Amino acid sequence: MPRPPGRVRDPIGHELGYPRGVTQGATSAIAHARSTDVGQIREINEDFVLVDESLGLYVVCDGMGGHAAGEVASKTAAETVREVVAAGPMPAEMDTPALEALMRSAVTEANRRVHALGQQAGSRRGMGTTCTALLVRGLRAAMAHVGDSRLYVRRGEAVHLMSQDHTFIAEAVRQGVIKPEDIRPDMPHANIVTRAVGPKPSVLVDTLVFDLIPGDTLLLCSDGLHQYFMDPTELAARMGAEELEEIAPQLVGTANERGGEDNISALVLRVLNAPQVAKRAGEITQTFSALTHIHLFHELSMNELAKVQEHLQHVAQRAGSVVFEQGETSEGLYIVSTGKVRVHRGDVQIAVLGEGAHFGEMALLNQRPRAATVTVLADARLLYLSREAFYAVVQADTVIGVKFLWKLAQTLSLRLDEAYETPEQFLRQRETLAFGLFPSPFSRKRK
């Protein structure tokens, strides 16, 4: 029979299991519930789950090493992250570079301490741990991540993987050696971690800052859990349960029923409605909705959209104002988040663009003067991506650059075709537009 989730003590005496419960964080309207279990095979629970409501800090670490070493590594890493974050700045809202710097320094220090312990003789030599940490300030979340524990976000009916596994298998998928749908828990080398906290003197830490909205449900978990939930549809359904306190123990229980070959940990968070964040939540929702409806961004994952979103500037403009005039030289792409704009050459109207539409994208690629004037018809909130910011995004993540440029190339190819078509051909092409566009080479939809 599967072992029920409960309280489990490890050889050094710290408690690794947690009863069901929901509490609200002090820095934002966040409810959480957590559960951890030793599983069906292991004798010791090397996972460590940490929650500090006063800091808005949530951490899951999965230790590895000899007898008692994994537990030491995971506990040391999690508590070091808490110590560094507690000593850092505490404003409710921090800018992206400051949040990333704080979380990166916390995990870097954790690596230093775990590595120092691992240099000792005996069972601790070479010990290490994964670490997925999330800091929530207001409606901003900052992730620091090393290893193969994971962070998921359920928004609406879909679940999104925000972290990237640092494993042999994940790297094989990124290199195109293995297809994602072919991954199985029992594959050779499936559990080989290519990056961890502690084994080496230094470690590269992934960071990501993204916005939260009320209703979001987040899951931090060890690989002992996510290896049994390969279907994102099932995971989305489980995370969408109304009773938050039931999600973590049920996920852990199911992982046990399906094999429980490793320690299993789940930390579930939910963003609650709160009057003080209502305006900000509305702006975040509008921005996210605008980005997801833009053709140029259709193939970006939520993780990738978050990276783009961090480089956008918000521009509020009144009806009648001019965004830019024909003949100007400016450098950036505009996205209509709310309101309407009119694209025209003199008195000749070219288009009226509403929410989710974009214009000015060619300025990302050339310095030619603007080909038309854009005037605001109804009070608008625009999102602006400068050429400099665009370069920063694609230099940091080349996959985003390829996906974006693929879509832009498709848009330009269609415009070129249309320039040589008769009106009858143009209408016929429009009717078959969906059959003429291929997904990018990075898309899972690719045949």
Alpha-carbon separation of residue 440 from 131, 316, 401 (angstroms) = 32, 33, 11
Between CA 134 and CA 131 the distance in angstroms is 10
Per-residue model confidence as pLDDT tens digits over 284-312: 888 888 888 887 888 889 999 999 988 99
pLDDT at 292: 83
* 430 vs 160, higher pLDDT: 160
pLDDT at 92: 67
Residues 371 and 238 in one domain: no
Token pair listed for 228: 């049994």
Residues 187 and 321 in one domain: no
Q: Closest Cα partner for 165 from 371, 303, 369? A: 303
Residue 5 located in a structural domain: no
Residue 358 neighbours by CB under 8 Å, 6+ apart: 294, 295, 296, 333, 334, 335, 336
Residues 160 and 297 in one domain: no
Per-residue model confidence as pLDDT tens digits over 28-51: 589 999 999 999 999 999 999 999
In sequence order, what are the beta bridge partners of 340? 378
Residue 170 sits in a domain whose CATH number is 3.60.40.10
In sequence order, what are the beta bridge partners of 35? 266
* 24 vs 213, higher pLDDT: 213
Between CA 306 and CA 42 the distance in angstroms is 37
pLDDT at 240: 96
Residues 366 and 262 in one domain: no
Between CA 191 and CA 54 the distance in angstroms is 35
Spacing of C-alpha 371 from chain mean position:
36
Of 254, 273, 292, the one marking the end of a domain is 273
Token pair listed for 341: 């704009």
* Secondary structure (DSSP) of 368-380: PPPSSEEEEEEEE
Of 273, 303, 330, the one marking the end of a domain is 273
Q: Closest Cα partner for 434 from 412, 408, 414? A: 414
What is the span of the domain harbouring residue 268?
A: 23-273
For the chain, how many structural domains are there in total? 2
364 secondary structure, DSSP code: G
Residues 150 and 260 in one domain: yes
Q: Range with the lowest mean pLDDT among 111-115, 149-153, 165-169, 228-232?
A: 165-169
Token pair listed for 27: 């820095």
* 72 vs 365, higher pLDDT: 72
pLDDT at 2: 39
> What mean pLDDT comes out for the span 383-400?
91
Label residue 435 by pLDDT band (50, 70, 90): very low
| pTM of the full structure | 0.83
pLDDT at 26: 41
Give CA torsion, residues 356, 360, 364, 366, to 10 deg.
160
Per-residue pLDDT for 27 more than 50? no
Residues 192 and 317 in one domain: no
Per-residue pLDDT for 426 more than 50? no
> What mean pLDDT comes out for the span 350-364?
88
How much of the chain exceeds pLDDT 90, in percent?
Answer: 56
Residues 68 and 192 in one domain: yes
Residues 219 and 287 in one domain: no
> What mean pLDDT comes out for the span 169-180?
72
Residues 345 and 255 in one domain: no
Mean pLDDT highest for which of 280-284, 358-362, 387-391, 410-414?
387-391
**Which backbone phi and psi does 416 adopt, to 5 degrees?**
-65, -45
> What mean pLDDT comes out for the span 345-367?
89
Per-residue pLDDT for 278 more than 50? yes
Spacing of C-alpha 247 from chain mean position:
21
Label residue 365 by pLDDT band (50, 70, 90): confident
Residues 431 and 388 in one domain: yes
Of 273, 289, 315, the one marking the end of a domain is 273
Residue 15 located in a structural domain: no
Label residue 424 by pLDDT band (50, 70, 90): low
Residue 197 located in a structural domain: yes
